[in-house]
Structure 1
Amino acid sequence: MFGTVRTLWALMVVFGHLFWLSDFGRFAVFGFYILSGYLMTYVMHQRYGYQASGKKRFAFNRFLRLYPGYWFACLLSLLLLLAFNHYFPLAGFSTIAIPNNAASLLGNITMIYPSWLPHSITPRLSPAAWALTVEIFFYCAICLGISKTLQRSLIWLALSVLFVIASYIVDLYWHARYFSIPAGSLPFSIGAIIYFVVQQNQVPNSWQIVLKRPAAILLVMVAISGFTAWQINQGLALITAELLFYLNMLVSALLVLSLALGHSLHNKISSGFDKFVGDFSYPIYLLHYQASIIASVLLLGEVSKFKQHFSLMALLLVGLILMLLSLLVIKCIDLPVERLRKSIRDKASGQFNATN
């Protein structure tokens, strides 16, 4: 029952990027990392296995999940750059522009921005795709076995904590603890640990009173995110903001653990509806800047985000355009590709079960 949460997190990113509370979506990104750490460890253990054939099927399945929708988002950005050329501000709009250097061209084609700080490479046709470079890096690490055993996962977690501590000791700016590839190590490793906690039934009974209420955990997560993002705009000290950020990461980990244990946000949310809602999360994440470009031209006569021009009409129009674009991706790209992905999963599961 992860689909609804994924889409809510994607909407947090949209709201932070396009409207108000710029830092709001950053809390959701680390939630995505935790969830990915759990799910990728789960499928490697339960579906693909660590034989060469299983690793290849995992890699191909991930490719099919990520790249078709991503390339559509990049193509749409290129079309908007051509169609709305005169509406773009001279200084550019966020990071969306024609790639003009080798690193940007490589990153926009492969989704792998070659830097330890992927967000530093611009232009990016799908601006939020820098985080997918982090995701792909740890998909590869998990496929190669970094979370193959609990012992390895605990070592991974310890090294991740050491990186965070070291980043403070050497006085790295907070960007290193958020935007960098090593920054993703801590939430991904926490997600891997969650897999073993669930599989080995090691959840303390005293935690159940909290874990049985994932909706309440989600509300706490959103509340901490919103409060911290609001206070940052009011001059909140950076160290306090970072402490709240890591506190919120632990709350997100509790939410993933709760859902992994089979608890539901609401007893009336069916698995089918949850999957339907979850299908929107990835296209929403990839396409929200493009939706903002179209909406801002229609409402403002220029390409702009709505941080200085927020209105209910802007919110509704961006939401409508984003839903239509997402439906287009789901119906025309994701569903046809999903049939191929399912066949790969079925073959992998069959071979995995036969081997074990």
Structure 2
Amino acid sequence: MLVGIIRFILAISVVLAHAGPLLGNSLVGGQLAVQAFYIISGFYMALILNEKYVSGNRGYKIFIVNRALRLFPIYWFILFATLLYSLAIGFNNNGAFFPLLDIYIHHFSELGWLASGLLIFSNFFILFQDLILFLGVHIDTGQLFFTSDFLNTSPILHKFVLIPQAWTLSLELLFYLIAPFIVRKKLMVIISLLLISAFIKYTLHIWGLEKDPWSYRFFPAELMFFLLGTLAYRVIFIKIAGKRQYKILSLSMLTLLLSATFFYNQIALPGKSALYLTLIFLTLPFAFTFTKNISLDRYIGELSYPIYISHMLVLTVCYALHLESLGTISLFAVILSILLSIFMNETIGKRIERIRQSRIPG
């Protein structure tokens, strides 16, 4: 019933969104889990920028580099593993099929310099993977064009992305770049930006742009969730921090959130996705106050990112090994993603974390 466990369960929700339900339960689904992560990210960025990092250019640089160190080493490990796996399978079958790279073999030469450059850059540096979801390519000229429905383009540009779920990291990076200029501002500035973002999301709904990729991949409309997390810190957390009289309330809210997460599909309430995100917003500051020093919970929570970034590769390998014949593929995907994440956290994450902490002033 702790924050780290909630983050862990949200990551598993994304795994199940791609692998299928486990024991009939898919938890909160992929989209809702991602938007909940946006809120958590907004809260945590507000917390560390107001309490850990000094202001000024040096503080900004340290913050950005530290966030990059959190994301990129594990991302690059999975990117390298993806390339290695695809090449190994391809050479093993005498070049008949290279999983995840076949689209490059058949179509990359047809792309213009801008499209090919964008794909190489975004695959390696993550940024603009969200933008790719709003682009298509003219196969006769190789030139890019904007589209409101990337699934109706051919070839689908996003299929060139080797870690397809990493588009959310691009949104995270965009928020990191602007967060130091927002989260310390006056409350009315933050609220105004949140309302502008909410208005953009509502306008997209009015225009009928509410399906993929507009549903939760358009940064101006998703900024509201990051800012909700920032508000949770500014409005609630700083008022309750260190006050033990809220402990029972915090545990009660965490219990409610955990129950809502596990039994989300059984809840028959109108607007339940909005209610769930509201519960995340309200619970987060209380939960963090009383669980931030629990090392086991922190360790479990730190597995959420490796699970998220590795699970599509794990799922690809599971299907290649025909593990579905042994039972539900979801079970194997979850277990193997967790084991791989523990390995990455122990061999990469902990070493990088020591470097990150050594760079923080004071």
* 2:354 counterpart (339, 351, 354): 339
Where do 1:33-72 residues align within 5 Å?
Answer: 33-72=38-77
1:36, 1:191 within 8 Å by CA — same for their partners in 2? yes
Residue 148 of structure 1 and its aligned partner are, at CA, apart by: 2.9
Cα 1:245/1:278, change in 2 over 3 Å: same
Q: Report whether the alignment pairs 1:262 with 2:290.
A: yes
What TM-score results when the alignment is normalised by the length of structure 1?
0.78
Which residue is equivalent to 1:138? 175
2:42, 2:227 within 8 Å by CA — same for their partners in 1? yes
Which sections of structure 2, spanning at least 5 residues, go unmatched? 109-115, 135-149, 151-157
Cα 1:91/1:169, change in 2 over 3 Å: farther
Q: Deviations over 1:163-215 (max 9, x none)?
A: 12211222223331312112321110100100111344289xxx998644112
* 1:294 counterpart (310, 314, 317): 317
Q: Deviations over 1:224-276 (max 9, x none)?
A: 3x348xx9xxxxxxxx98x4332322122223233134269xxxxx7111122
Which residue is equivalent to 1:10? 11
**Which range moves more in the overlay, 84-93 or 275-284?**
84-93
Q: Report whether the alignment pairs 1:248 with 2:270.
A: no
Work out the percentage of aligned pairs sharing the same amino acid.
25
Cα 1:55/1:246, change in 2 over 3 Å: same
SS at match of 2:239: coil
Which residue is equivalent to 1:108? 123
Q: CA RMSD in A?
A: 3.3
Distance 1:53 1:249 in 2: 34
**Which range moves more in the overlay, 167-176 or 282-291?**
167-176
What letter is aligned with 1:24? G
Distance 2:327 2:47 in 1: 42
Which residue is equivalent to 2:299? 276
Aligned residues: 318
Q: Report whether the alignment pairs 1:172 with 2:200.
A: no
Cα 1:162/1:319, change in 2 over 3 Å: closer
Cα 1:89/1:192, change in 2 over 3 Å: farther
Which residue is equivalent to 1:220? 260
What letter is aligned with 1:188? F
Distance 2:333 2:94 in 1: 17
SS at match of 2:160: coil
Distance 2:102 2:67 in 1: 25
SS at match of 2:218: coil
Q: Deviations over 1:271-302 (max 9, x none)?
A: 111122122111100111111222222235xx
What letter is aligned with 2:223? S
1:34, 1:188 within 8 Å by CA — same for their partners in 2? yes
Distance 1:293 1:15 in 2: 14
**Which range moves more in the overlay, 71-80 or 190-199?**
190-199
What TM-score results when the alignment is normalised by the length of structure 2?
0.77
Cα 1:327/1:263, change in 2 over 3 Å: closer
1:147, 1:192 within 8 Å by CA — same for their partners in 2? no
Cα 1:168/1:28, change in 2 over 3 Å: same
Residue 87 of structure 1 and its aligned partner are, at CA, apart by: 11
Which residue is equivalent to 1:76? 81
